[in-house]
Structure 1
């Protein structure tokens, strides 16, 4: 595989499982040294690091709950200290609490907002203070941030709509440094959080054009391209990888 990210350093938040783990492994395969953050699951984070190292890459896991601003700031600084610099930030940490909005508690609302929006804000601000010119900031939004067909995701969709507008707006502030900011919007992807075998899967699969769930590697492939030098003229873009959910 071409080492399109050779010599680069990437930080992937929420990189211990699912889409984040696949992104971390793919960026490492493309030549980047990779730091991942994780909230609780140290074993899974260690597994990701071991898998990257077994394939000849360099990786580092840092415990940091993306909803805790001080932890996020420390994690970015630890990654830079350990790996020497920062070229690519992937804001992947996030969550959904699917339920009818009328049944959603204030605590659940706060958690989704703090993780999906505030955590992304804080991580991005600190990362920008360390990021090299011609760097890459990549948000993992969601296709429901543009168009939501699934009941039970009102609050989540609102946060991902915020992610979309943040990426577009920030791209205009950092473009003079050659830094691109893009929002990759997955559709239904087979993960622990949203398994293709789950009760919730039938309506999601039904609204895709391909009539299937996506694989984490299919999201990672798009992120790797956006992170690469070939994507230097793509910025402020919302790129769906959703099997045609929003078609």
Structure 2
């Protein structure tokens, strides 16, 4: 995919009613993509993103779907094709697992099982030249080699399991002409996860900021995710965004 190839293409971005997902959707729309905004519960928030994209001259729809419900995931992917005629880019941005009220296996169900299910549902409808972008964190990508905060271990392990499950599918995807790339970022200023972690472990954000030099904003990280939707990289590429040097050093030492 070249950077001029988004005109007339369609992108589904999971978890895109706010934050990194919403900003990624707006950036892809600005490059000419038709975008599908996915939300789990907050329809008004998703509709606001759609309105902003349309007011800027782009095309978008909002589709509610809980990624842990297979029929809703298939409805989400079909909606892209029904509305715009194709599904060319799938950004697997939605994640979670720090919610205390959704069951102790929720992190694994959302961050591994649902990611794989979304990949399968989306790529069934993709044609040659499609691209899947999986969004993760350094804390998850390097979890086998580098310790993270106690409160984040379950989430990190589940996100890494999700990444591994997707990467295992690369040979089948390649046979269909579909690329898979991974974008990994540090803690991001202003996100729900960063706020929760800092609340659970006061000073965690400052410590990460010091180790990384600086932390990316939501808008800055979204720009890197959007870039990977069309970047000229090989399938299986892992784009490490900001502050990965200390993770790389620790994983090499271990």
TM-score after normalising by structure 2: 0.85
- Pairwise CA RMSD: 2.3
Q: Distance in 2 between matches of 1:122 and 1:70?
A: 10
Which runs of 5 or more residues in structure 1 are unaligned? 99-103
Deviates more, 1:72-81 or 1:202-211: 202-211
Deviates more, 1:47-56 or 1:194-203: 194-203
User: 2:40 maps to which residue?
Assistant: 39
Q: Is the CA contact (8 Å cut-off) linking 2:112 and 2:165 kept in structure 1?
A: no
Q: Is the CA contact (8 Å cut-off) linking 1:188 and 1:242 kept in structure 2?
A: no
Q: Distance in 2 between matches of 1:167 and 1:182?
A: 10
Q: Is the CA contact (8 Å cut-off) linking 2:89 and 2:132 kept in structure 1?
A: yes
Match of 1:123 among 118, 122, 141: 118
Q: SS state of the match for residue 90, structure 2?
A: strand
Q: Does 1:112 align with 2:111?
A: no
1:201 is displaced (CA, Å) by 6.5
| Count of matched residue positions in the alignment of Structure 1 and Structure 2 | 238
TM-score after normalising by structure 1: 0.87
Q: SS state of the match for residue 185, structure 1?
A: strand
1:1-247 to structure 2, matched below 5 A, reads 3-97=4-98, 107-145=102-140, 146-147=142-143, 148-195=147-194, 198-199=198-199, 200=201, 202-208=203-209, 209-228=211-230, 230-231=231-232, 233-244=233-244, 246-247=247-248
Deviates more, 1:58-67 or 1:178-187: 178-187
Q: Distance in 2 between matches of 1:134 and 1:97?
A: 35
Q: SS state of the match for residue 91, structure 2?
A: strand
Q: SS state of the match for residue 212, structure 1?
A: coil
**Does the C-alpha gap of structure 1 residues 190 and 159 become closer, same or farther in structure 2, counting only changes over 3 Å?**
same
Which runs of 5 or more residues in structure 2 are unaligned? 249-254
**Does the C-alpha gap of structure 1 residues 195 and 54 become closer, same or farther in structure 2, counting only changes over 3 Å?**
farther
1:19 is displaced (CA, Å) by 1.1
